[in-house]
Amino acid sequence: MSSAESPHARLVVAAGGSERLDRYLAEHHPDLSRSRAAQLLEQGRIRVNNEPARKSQRVADGDIIEIDMPAPVPTAIAPEAIPLVIVHEDQDLLVIDKPAGLVVHPAPGHRTGTLVNALLHHVSDLSGIGGVLRPGIVHRLDRDTSGLIIVAKNDAAHRRLAAALKRREVHRIYVAAVWGHLPQDALEIDAPIGRSRNDRKRMAVLPDGRAARTRVRRLARWRAADLVQAELETGRTHQIRVHLMHIGHPVVGDATYGQAAERGMSGPDRGWAAELARRVPRQFLHAARLRFAHPRTGAALRFDSRLPPDLAGAAEWALATTLGG
C-alpha cells in the first residue's frame, strides 16, 4: 500500500462545518472520493465523536472524525512483464507512451496482455484506488491508437485528473492521416455522438447523441490525403475517427470507419492511395501531445510523442511522392 493512503486518519471539523459527512470526507481527505467514503461508512469504518457514523449525517464544528482504512485488496488482474515506455512518473501519476495493439483494460476477449496488466508489474507504489490495488486509467486510447495516456496512482490524483478532464483542462492532441483533402486548413467538427443503432460495436453521429467537438488543422497536404492535427474538446468513444468519417475524410487504415476508402479514388490518385493504404499497417492515429496541470502541485506539464516508426515511414513516403509527383 502506498503511503498516500493512511491506514488510520483523524480529522477535526473546522469552524463552519455543516455538510453531509460523505461529502465532507471527499472534500477534506485527499484519498477519498464520495463513493469510497460511503463504502467505508457502510463497512462501519468511520466514527464521529467515537460513535458509528452514517453517511447522511451532517458534521458540526469540532466533530472528531476517525477513519480506519482497510488495506487495499489485490486486483484479480494478474501482473505481466509487458514492456512499457514510461515518459514520466512521480508519486501521483504516470504518463505512458502506449504502442499500437495494446488494449488498455481487460475485457471479454482481452483478459490478459493489457496495459493494466503491464502497469501492475511495473509500478510498485500503487494506492488502493476505490479499495482495490490497481492503476487508475484517467482516459483511454483505442487498441490500435498509439501514443500518450495518463495513469493515476492514487484516488486523489485520479479524482482531480478526471475533474480536470471534465472541465476540458486536459489538452489531448492527436496526429492523423485522412483520405482526401479538408475543405479548409482549420475547422471545428461539432456533432453529437452515440452508439450506432445498426451495429452496437460502432459509434455514429446521432441527433440524440452526446455533445462532441473536435478541432482539426491540416499539417500537410499529400497527393490524395491530408496529415492533420486533431484536438479533442470532448472525449467520446472513437470521437476523432467518427467525426472525420462524418465529414467525408476517414482516418487512413481505419478498418471500422474507413474500410477500403482508398478504393473510391479515381484517376492517377488511385494507385497512390492503394500504395499508402498498403504501407499503413493500422489506423493512422497517434496521441502526440498532452498538456495538463499536475493534480497535486498545479505545475503545468507537457509531454510530446513522435510518430512511431510504422506511421512515420508511411508519412515520409507520402510526402516524398507528393513532392516528387
Q: How far apart are CA 92 and CA 88, in angstroms?
A: 11
Q: How far apart are CA 108 and CA 235, in angstroms?
A: 23
191-196 contact pairs (CB < 8 A, 24+): 191/243, 191/246, 193/236, 193/237, 193/238, 193/239, 193/242, 193/243
136: cell is: 487508475
Active site residue 92: no
Q: Of 22, 31, 63, 142, which is the active-site residue?
A: 142
From the centroid of its chain, how far is CA 101? Answer: 16
Burial 260-272 (b: 16+ CB within 10 A, else e): ebbeebeeebeeb
DSSP classification of residue 210:
B
Question: Virtual CA dihedral for 191, 196, 202, 208, nearest 10 degrees?
Answer: 30
> Bridge partners of 27?
none
49: cell is: 465523536
Q: How far apart are CA 287 and CA 289, in angstroms?
A: 6
Question: Virtual CA dihedral for 210, 115, 277, 325, nearest 10 degrees?
Answer: 100
Residue positions annotated with a catalytic role = 142
